[in-house]
Amino acid sequence: MNIDRRTLLKGAAAAAGLAALSPLHALAAIPKPTLPLKIGFVYVSPIGDAGWTYQHDLGRKAVEESFGDKVQTKYVESVSEGADAERVIRDFAANGHQLVFATSFGYMNPTLKVARAFPKTVFEHATGYKQAANVGIYAARYYEARYLAGIIAAKMSTTGTAGYIAAFPIPEVVMGINAFVRGMRSVNPDAQLKVVWVNAWFDPGKEREAALTLAAQNADVLTHHTDSTAVVQAAEEKGLYAIGYHSDMSKYGPKAHLTAATHHWEGFYRKVVQDVIDGSWESSNVWGGLKDGMVDLAPLNPVVPGDVAALVAQKKQEIIDGKLHPFAGPLFDQDGRQVIGAGASLTDEELLKMNYYVEGIVGKLPK
């Protein structure tokens, strides 16, 4: 698997800063662990049947399956992103876990704090931006799958309007919205996307209300960047189409569910575990996409015509081959201002700061 090192300089600077603060920690190599390697997973929500944590747990199970007796995994679910997180992470480290996966953004500072106290334990933190000698970070390029999902949405929509239920206007979410509408407009230049912010990661009631609102305003394909399955269920009830997120949500709306933009941590987790066992682990910053198998589309609903499926497969290959970038120029923002010209693409750094809507989106981005 390829590893993208975004903002290498920044990471190096951070490492240097840390080294200056505590030279011993930065220099101490991670020793080869004693087998079985004890691995701890910290989950922000219950595992359930679908969603963010469910996908991480699939990764954990994959590690158990691949490494058998060589590993022992343990997880703690529903760990809130505050004082609890530090206690759980510290417990893992203190009880001989030599590798800890902290799978939510809010675990960033607790992870770093515990990592300073346990320099010989390896920590991997999902979706954060602070590294240390024994703390690696990882995330996925969800926007690549969003772009493909947008193509399907535009092809399946009869009104040319899709609806997007979103949690909070942070770059990660805005990136997904923009990629989705770019995908839509790549096959239907007049397509529109209406966005409703519910200001909650998880509120099934509000997500449903927002879905019904969008349905009432002509959106006939709905998708979401929130954590419940309420949007897919609402679409099923209203006879509309839906595109799930995190996990394959087809069982929540067998007719409505066209596909889902899914995350896959199995490959990455296996690699990290192998590296730790080999004693070759190094702190890195991984941002993997379709190419690395870290994001994908769930199997398409049979109602998606063959030519659309073929087009999506082709675009997916082009993204994997690096021939297509969802944010390739010319790129215009919502007000028609050119962000970048033809021939250029947004850099990773620009993507991670995205705070504007591209053209095709109805509404203003909350500031």
Q: Which residues bind another protein (CB under 8 A)?
A: 45-51, 78, 163, 194-200, 202-210, 212-217, 219, 228-230, 233, 237, 251-252, 362-364, 366-367
What is the C-alpha to C-alpha distance for residues 137 and 104, in angstroms, rounded to an integer? Answer: 11
CB of 336 to another protein, least distance (A): 15
Tokens (6 digits) for 101: 């996966």
Q: Rank residues 45 and 98 by Cβ distance to another protein and give the closer one.
A: 45
Residue 48 or 293: the one with the smaller Cβ distance to another protein is: 48
Q: Which is nearer to another protein, 64 or 203 (CB)?
A: 203
CA distance 252 to 210: 18
H/E segment holding residue 332 = strand 331-332
Q: What span, in angstroms and rounded, lies between the C-alpha atoms of 31 and 363?
A: 53
For 323, residues 6+ apart whose C-beta sits below 8 A from its C-beta are: none
* Identity of the amino acid at 275: D
List the 285-288 sheet strands across, edge first: 71-76, 37-42, 99-102, 122-126, 135-140, 285-288
Matching residue, tokens 């990471």 = 11
Helices (runs of H) and strands (runs of E) counted in the chain: 12, 15
CB of 313 to another protein, least distance (A): 30
Alpha helices (runs of H) in 262-366, residue ranges in sequence order: 266-278, 306-320, 348-351
Taking the least distance from each CB to another protein, the nearer of 139 and 198 is 198
Distance in Å, CB of 70 to another protein, minimum:
30
- Return the number of the residue (20 or 367) whose C-beta is nearest another protein: 367
| Shortest reach from residue 352's CB to another protein, in Å | 23
Nearest distance in Å: CB 235, another protein: 13
CA distance 177 to 285: 24
Shorter beta-carbon distance to another protein: residue 95 or 199: 199
Cβ–Cβ under 8 Å, residues 244 and 232 = yes
Q: For the CB of residue 274, give the shortest distance to another protein in the complex, in Å.
A: 31
CB of 227 to another protein, least distance (A): 9
Query: Nearer to another protein by C-beta: 19 or 76?
Result: 76
